[in-house]
């Protein structure tokens, strides 16, 4: 049997396939939100930026105008241990893995929405065993009341994007994907800074613990000497009791720092993806670290580097596109659909020409009354856009505050570091003099112990201020948005491949 040519169906499908709806994307056109036009963030002027060679040890750090920053900025400390910890954290941290999965989810959602630009095609096969009541007419030409009907059908549908509803949906999801990408960058930046800071603080606490142990030993030696003087009647008992209190105070300080050191180790292990028992104690010493210069930059440039600001901007773009979706949903919707299939009482006859059926139709729908649902959804999307703009402005202000705070901290902690270093140097000189005086009998052993205790107290202050100065560098890098190159404004911080 010669198969008939179904010209009507084929012509309709061809016309449908060739028809393209470029349409127009309704809703507000997106424009990047405005940022504050400020040339300086800090209330007071910073020291002049320079790239000059370092001078004295306590003044080696400079404020430099950073046109670019290394992607792996933590390497500026010159510590292989810090480098290894940060790299391991970027590979193994559950926080980064979670952010990466969220990014993949956003990417797949954006790709899924693009499928609406194409026709949907569905194939169906439906075998039915049925019996018609004898009082009713059989649906078959044979008139049989008991029969099996085999039906195979191909359905095609397409919704034209006349007013850009799908285009705006894709734009919104693309912006959400971009926001998630910047959130991943922010997570990496925060993790790297937290690991570097935790390592610096661990080294600081260990050195502080060593000093407090020496202070505790000195206090005990002083107590023993005072006990001898008390028995000789040279000092009153109240002086001995006061020294006993100082010994207990030194013991408490040592125990407190020992606890903080253990907890710092556990926190560092968590950040780097280790169980605390798996992380070996660090060999890091503050004296072995390089003191990096303090990078600075123009506010406008910084706001293009900060991943949190870029993520907030992407959220504004997504909300702007959602307004267009809401507007498009209030306008007419045009769709086409087509069916082509065959039916037969036996599977072997399913592809015969006698059972062929087809249909081609169109639908144009315009919402007329919905109780204000679409209108209020549009207003809700507009309110969401206003909210995202306000949140963006808040993020910008926080970013500028972070930057100003980090620079002010770097400047004032540098002054404090200079002062504590000089204090330690003078205390050391006083200790040397006291030791020489003890050799010739000009001072007592107790006087020497008091001088040595003062020196150790100044060393403790120097360790703390030195740590603050190093931690300040981490804060400045975070405030600037991490590693970036030139004026392109794209973050270059990337974790090693899995």
Can you list the pairs that 176-179 forms with residues at least 24 positions away whose Cβ atoms lie under 8 Å?
A: 176/106, 176/109, 176/110, 176/314, 176/315, 176/318, 177/103, 177/106, 177/107, 177/109, 177/110, 178/310, 178/314, 178/317, 179/106, 179/311, 179/312, 179/314, 179/315, 179/318
Q: How far apart are CA 278 and CA 270, in angstroms?
A: 10
Interval 398-422 mean pLDDT: 89
Residue 140, both tokens: 């078959």
- Percent of the chain residues topping a pLDDT of 70: 88
**Residue pLDDT, tens place only, 175-211:** 999 999 999 999 999 999 999 999 999 999 999 999 8
Helix (H) and strand (E) counts in the chain = 9, 6
Place of tokens 């870029």: 310
Cα–Cα distance list, 232 to 120, 221, 225, 229, 237 (Å): 103, 17, 11, 5, 11
Does residue 480 contact residue 66 with C-beta atoms inside 8 Å?
yes
Is 170 within the bounds of a domain?
A: yes
277-286 CB burial, b ≥16 within 10 A, e <16: eebeebebeb
Interval 225-254 mean pLDDT: 82
Neighbouring-strand partners of residue 116: none
485 vs 448, higher pLDDT? 448
Q: What is the pLDDT of residue 157?
A: 95
Structural domain total, the chain: 1
Identify which of 64, 62, 82 has the alpha carbon closest to the alpha carbon of residue 74: 82
Q: How far apart are CA 451 and CA 325, in angstroms?
A: 76
| Least confident interval from 55-59, 214-218, 393-397, 449-453 | 55-59
Q: How far apart are CA 122 and CA 361, in angstroms?
A: 16
Is 34 within the bounds of a domain?
A: no
Does residue 215 contact residue 351 with C-beta atoms inside 8 Å?
no
Cα–Cα distance list, 224 to 193, 211, 240 (Å): 46, 20, 9
Q: What is the pLDDT of residue 19?
A: 42
| Least confident interval from 20-34, 189-203, 244-258 | 20-34
Is 16 within the bounds of a domain?
A: no
Is 382 within the bounds of a domain?
A: no
Phi, psi of 149 (to 5 degrees): -115, 120
Domain limits for position 395: 41-48+57-117+163-316+389-480
First to last CA, the chain: 62
Q: Is the pLDDT of residue 295 over 90?
A: no
Is 9 within the bounds of a domain?
A: no
Is 339 within the bounds of a domain?
A: no
**Residue pLDDT, tens place only, 44-87:** 666 554 433 333 344 467 888 877 788 899 999 999 999 999 99
Phi, psi of 362 (to 5 degrees): -135, 155
Interval 232-249 mean pLDDT: 81
Is 476 within the bounds of a domain?
A: yes
- The SS3 call for residue 127 is strand
Q: What is the pLDDT of residue 22?
A: 46
Is 238 within the bounds of a domain?
A: yes
CATH number of the domain to which 89 belongs: 1.20.1600.10
How many alpha carbons fall within 13 Å on the CB side of residue 207?
23
| Least confident interval from 275-289, 336-350, 439-453 | 439-453
| Least confident interval from 29-33, 37-41, 367-371, 463-467 | 37-41
């Amino acid at each position: 049997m010669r198969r008939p040519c179904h010209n009507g169906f084929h012509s309709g499908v061809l016309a449908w396939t060739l028809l393209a709806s470029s349409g127009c994307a309704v809703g507000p056109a997106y424009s990047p939100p405005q940022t504050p036009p400020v040339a300086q963030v800090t209330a007071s002027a910073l020291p002049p930026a320079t790239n000059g060679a370092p001078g004295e040890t306590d003044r080696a750090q400079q404020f430099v105008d950073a046109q670019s920053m290394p992607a792996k900025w933590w390497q500026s400390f010159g510590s292989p241990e810090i480098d290894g910890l940060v790299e391991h954290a970027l590979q193994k941290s559950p926080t980064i893995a979670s952010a990466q999965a969220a990014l993949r989810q956003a990417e797949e959602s954006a790709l899924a929405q693009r499928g609406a630009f194409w026709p949907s095609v569905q194939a169906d096969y439906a075998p039915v065993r049925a019996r018609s009541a004898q009082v009713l007419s059989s649906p078959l030409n044979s008139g049989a009341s008991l029969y099996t009907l085999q039906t195979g059908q191909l359905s095609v549908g397409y919704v034209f994007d006349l007013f850009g509803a799908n285009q705006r949906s894709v734009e919104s999801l693309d912006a959400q994907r971009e926001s998630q990408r910047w959130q991943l960058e922010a997570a990496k930046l925060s993790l790297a800074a937290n690991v570097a800071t935790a390592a610096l603080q661990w080294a600081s606490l260990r050195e502080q613990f060593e000093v407090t142990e020496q202070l505790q030993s000195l206090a005990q030696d002083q107590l023993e000497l005072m006990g001898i003087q008390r028995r000789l009647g040279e000092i009153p008992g109240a002086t001995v009791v006061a020294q006993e209190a100082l010994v207990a105070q030194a013991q408490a300080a040592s125990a407190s720092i020992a606890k903080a050191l253990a907890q710092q180790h556990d926190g560092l292990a968590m950040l780097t993806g280790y169980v605390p028992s798996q992380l070996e104690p660090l060999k890091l010493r503050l004296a072995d670290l390089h003191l990096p210069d303090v990078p600075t930059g123009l506010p406008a440039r910084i706001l293009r580097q900060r991943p949190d600001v870029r993520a907030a901007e992407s959220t504004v773009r997504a909300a702007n596109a959602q307004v267009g979706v809401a507007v498009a949903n209030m306008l007419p919707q045009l769709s086409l659909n087509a069916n082509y299939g065959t039916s037969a009482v036996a599977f072997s006859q399913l592809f015969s020409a006698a059972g062929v059926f087809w249909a081609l139709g169109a639908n144009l729908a315009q919402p007329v009354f919905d109780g204000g649902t679409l209108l209020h959804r549009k207003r809700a999307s507009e309110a969401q856009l206003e909210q995202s703009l306000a949140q963006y402005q808040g993020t910008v202000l926080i970013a500028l505050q972070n930057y100003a705070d980090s620079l002010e901290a770097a400047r004032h902690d540098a002054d404090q570091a200079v002062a504590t270093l000089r204090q330690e140097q003078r205390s050391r000189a006083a200790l040397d003099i006291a030791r020489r005086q003890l050799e010739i009998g000009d001072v007592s052993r107790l006087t020497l112990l008091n001088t040595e205790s003062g020196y150790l107290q100044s060393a403790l202050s120097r360790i703390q201020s030195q740590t603050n100065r190093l931690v300040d560098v981490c804060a400045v890098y975070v405030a600037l948005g991490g590693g970036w190159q030139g004026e392109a404004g794209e973050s270059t911080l990337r974790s090693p491949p899995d």
